[in-house]
Structure 1
Amino acid sequence: MVNHVAIASVGFAVFVFMGLILLGAEAMRKTRGESSLLKGQRDIADEYGWGDFEGFKQHPQMLMVQVLGLRFATLAAFCFTCWHAASAVNFL
Protein backbone atom coordinates (compact mmCIF):
# COMPACT_ATOMS: atom_id res chain seq x y z
CA MET A 1 0.00 0.00 0.00
CA VAL A 2 2.79 2.42 0.89
CA ASN A 3 4.37 1.87 -2.51
CA HIS A 4 1.11 2.66 -4.30
CA VAL A 5 0.64 5.84 -2.26
CA ALA A 6 4.19 6.97 -3.05
CA ILE A 7 3.81 6.19 -6.74
CA ALA A 8 0.42 7.94 -6.83
CA SER A 9 2.02 11.02 -5.25
CA VAL A 10 4.72 11.08 -7.91
CA GLY A 11 2.09 10.54 -10.59
CA PHE A 12 0.06 13.46 -9.26
CA ALA A 13 3.11 15.72 -9.29
CA VAL A 14 3.82 14.71 -12.90
CA PHE A 15 0.15 15.33 -13.77
CA VAL A 16 0.27 18.86 -12.32
CA PHE A 17 3.58 19.59 -14.07
CA MET A 18 2.26 18.31 -17.41
CA GLY A 19 -0.93 20.33 -16.93
CA LEU A 20 1.07 23.53 -16.48
CA ILE A 21 3.21 22.77 -19.54
CA LEU A 22 0.02 22.05 -21.49
CA LEU A 23 -1.48 25.41 -20.50
CA GLY A 24 1.66 27.14 -21.72
CA ALA A 25 1.62 25.24 -25.01
CA GLU A 26 -2.07 26.05 -25.55
CA ALA A 27 -1.38 29.74 -24.95
CA MET A 28 1.62 29.65 -27.29
CA ARG A 29 -0.44 27.97 -30.01
CA LYS A 30 -3.27 30.51 -29.73
CA THR A 31 -1.01 33.57 -29.64
CA ARG A 32 1.56 32.39 -32.17
CA GLY A 33 1.45 35.57 -34.24
CA GLU A 34 2.00 38.07 -31.44
CA SER A 35 4.16 36.03 -29.04
CA SER A 36 7.38 37.87 -28.18
CA LEU A 37 8.91 34.60 -26.93
CA LEU A 38 8.39 32.91 -30.30
CA LYS A 39 9.61 36.01 -32.13
CA GLY A 40 12.77 36.00 -30.00
CA GLN A 41 13.32 32.33 -30.79
CA ARG A 42 12.90 33.06 -34.51
CA ASP A 43 15.40 35.93 -34.32
CA ILE A 44 18.01 33.80 -32.55
CA ALA A 45 17.44 30.94 -35.01
CA ASP A 46 17.86 33.29 -37.98
CA GLU A 47 21.08 34.65 -36.49
CA TYR A 48 22.62 31.18 -36.18
CA GLY A 49 21.19 29.76 -39.41
CA TRP A 50 18.53 27.53 -37.84
CA GLY A 51 15.61 29.45 -39.31
CA ASP A 52 14.15 26.55 -41.30
CA PHE A 53 13.94 24.24 -38.29
CA GLU A 54 12.48 26.96 -36.05
CA GLY A 55 9.89 27.74 -38.72
CA PHE A 56 8.98 24.05 -38.80
CA LYS A 57 8.65 23.93 -34.99
CA GLN A 58 6.44 27.04 -34.97
CA HIS A 59 4.19 26.00 -37.85
CA PRO A 60 0.52 25.99 -36.72
CA GLN A 61 0.05 22.28 -37.44
CA MET A 62 3.25 21.38 -35.57
CA LEU A 63 2.13 23.43 -32.56
CA MET A 64 -1.21 21.59 -32.71
CA VAL A 65 0.61 18.22 -32.72
CA GLN A 66 2.67 19.32 -29.71
CA VAL A 67 -0.48 20.32 -27.83
CA LEU A 68 -2.21 17.04 -28.67
CA GLY A 69 0.85 15.09 -27.49
CA LEU A 70 0.87 17.03 -24.22
CA ARG A 71 -2.86 16.42 -23.77
CA PHE A 72 -2.28 12.69 -24.18
CA ALA A 73 0.67 12.69 -21.76
CA THR A 74 -1.33 14.67 -19.18
CA LEU A 75 -4.25 12.26 -19.46
CA ALA A 76 -1.87 9.30 -19.11
CA ALA A 77 -0.34 10.83 -15.96
CA PHE A 78 -3.82 11.38 -14.52
CA CYS A 79 -4.88 7.79 -15.27
CA PHE A 80 -1.62 6.49 -13.78
CA THR A 81 -2.31 8.48 -10.60
CA CYS A 82 -5.90 7.28 -10.34
CA TRP A 83 -4.93 3.66 -10.90
CA HIS A 84 -2.30 3.71 -8.15
CA ALA A 85 -4.60 5.59 -5.76
CA ALA A 86 -7.32 2.99 -6.37
CA SER A 87 -4.80 0.19 -5.83
CA ALA A 88 -3.73 1.76 -2.53
CA VAL A 89 -7.36 1.98 -1.37
CA ASN A 90 -7.94 -1.61 -2.49
CA PHE A 91 -5.19 -2.81 -0.12
CA LEU A 92 -6.94 -1.35 2.94
Structure 2
Amino acid sequence: LFVGGGIDGLAAYHTLQTYLPSNVSIKVYESYSTPDAATSILGGGLGIVPNGLRALRAISPASALYLKSYGNTCPYFVLRNRNGRTLGRLGS
Protein backbone atom coordinates (compact mmCIF):
# COMPACT_ATOMS: atom_id res chain seq x y z
CA LEU A 1 0.00 0.00 0.00
CA PHE A 2 1.38 3.41 -0.99
CA VAL A 3 -0.28 6.69 -0.29
CA GLY A 4 0.92 9.29 -2.77
CA GLY A 5 1.50 8.96 -6.48
CA GLY A 6 4.37 11.44 -6.51
CA ILE A 7 7.86 10.62 -7.70
CA ASP A 8 8.83 8.81 -4.48
CA GLY A 9 5.69 6.68 -4.31
CA LEU A 10 5.91 5.72 -7.97
CA ALA A 11 9.63 4.90 -7.72
CA ALA A 12 8.95 2.70 -4.69
CA TYR A 13 6.04 1.04 -6.52
CA HIS A 14 8.15 0.33 -9.61
CA THR A 15 11.03 -1.08 -7.57
CA LEU A 16 8.78 -3.34 -5.49
CA GLN A 17 6.87 -4.45 -8.59
CA THR A 18 10.19 -5.42 -10.15
CA TYR A 19 11.61 -7.38 -7.22
CA LEU A 20 8.67 -8.80 -5.25
CA PRO A 21 7.01 -12.08 -6.20
CA SER A 22 4.24 -11.68 -8.78
CA ASN A 23 1.55 -12.79 -6.32
CA VAL A 24 2.12 -9.68 -4.14
CA SER A 25 -0.40 -6.94 -4.87
CA ILE A 26 0.68 -3.29 -4.59
CA LYS A 27 -1.81 -0.41 -4.53
CA VAL A 28 -1.02 3.30 -4.98
CA TYR A 29 -3.51 5.89 -3.73
CA GLU A 30 -3.35 9.51 -4.90
CA SER A 31 -5.65 12.34 -3.82
CA TYR A 32 -5.45 14.23 -7.12
CA SER A 33 -7.49 12.92 -10.03
CA THR A 34 -4.82 13.60 -12.69
CA PRO A 35 -1.11 14.55 -12.64
CA ASP A 36 -1.82 17.99 -14.12
CA ALA A 37 -4.33 18.73 -11.34
CA ALA A 38 -1.58 18.36 -8.74
CA THR A 39 0.92 20.34 -10.82
CA SER A 40 -1.38 23.34 -11.20
CA ILE A 41 -1.93 23.45 -7.43
CA LEU A 42 1.50 22.53 -6.13
CA GLY A 43 3.85 24.14 -8.61
CA GLY A 44 5.63 22.47 -11.41
CA GLY A 45 9.07 21.29 -12.25
CA LEU A 46 11.04 18.33 -11.09
CA GLY A 47 14.78 18.64 -10.63
CA ILE A 48 16.93 15.54 -10.79
CA VAL A 49 20.61 15.76 -9.92
CA PRO A 50 23.12 13.31 -11.48
CA ASN A 51 22.94 10.68 -8.72
CA GLY A 52 19.13 10.81 -8.93
CA LEU A 53 19.29 10.22 -12.67
CA ARG A 54 21.59 7.23 -12.08
CA ALA A 55 19.10 5.84 -9.55
CA LEU A 56 16.24 6.37 -12.01
CA ARG A 57 18.25 4.60 -14.72
CA ALA A 58 18.67 1.61 -12.37
CA ILE A 59 14.90 1.53 -11.75
CA SER A 60 13.74 2.26 -15.30
CA PRO A 61 16.28 2.84 -18.08
CA ALA A 62 13.48 3.93 -20.46
CA SER A 63 12.32 6.63 -18.03
CA ALA A 64 15.84 7.99 -17.60
CA LEU A 65 16.33 8.10 -21.36
CA TYR A 66 12.98 9.87 -21.80
CA LEU A 67 13.91 12.55 -19.26
CA LYS A 68 17.30 13.11 -20.86
CA SER A 69 15.67 13.38 -24.29
CA TYR A 70 12.79 15.70 -23.37
CA GLY A 71 13.91 17.40 -20.16
CA ASN A 72 15.85 20.62 -19.82
CA THR A 73 19.36 20.75 -18.46
CA CYS A 74 20.19 23.47 -15.97
CA PRO A 75 23.71 24.21 -14.75
CA TYR A 76 22.70 24.76 -11.11
CA PHE A 77 19.87 24.70 -8.56
CA VAL A 78 19.17 27.52 -6.12
CA LEU A 79 17.52 26.34 -2.92
CA ARG A 80 15.26 28.88 -1.21
CA ASN A 81 13.07 28.87 1.86
CA ARG A 82 9.37 29.72 1.73
CA ASN A 83 10.17 33.44 2.09
CA GLY A 84 12.47 33.41 -0.95
CA ARG A 85 15.72 33.66 1.02
CA THR A 86 18.55 31.75 -0.67
CA LEU A 87 19.66 28.76 1.38
CA GLY A 88 22.26 27.41 -1.00
CA ARG A 89 23.25 26.64 -4.54
CA LEU A 90 24.08 23.27 -6.09
CA GLY A 91 26.12 22.92 -9.25
CA SER A 92 28.48 25.26 -11.08
TM-score bin, normalised by smaller chain:
under 0.3
Considering fraction of residues, name the structure with more helix.
1
Determine which structure has greater relative contact order: mean sequence separation of CA pairs < 8 Å that are 6+ residues apart, divided by chain length.
Answer: 1
Considering fraction of residues, name the structure with more strand.
2
Which one has the largest radius of gyration? 1
Q: What is the TM-score with the length of structure 1 in the denominator?
A: 0.26
Q: What is the TM-score with the length of structure 2 in the denominator?
A: 0.26
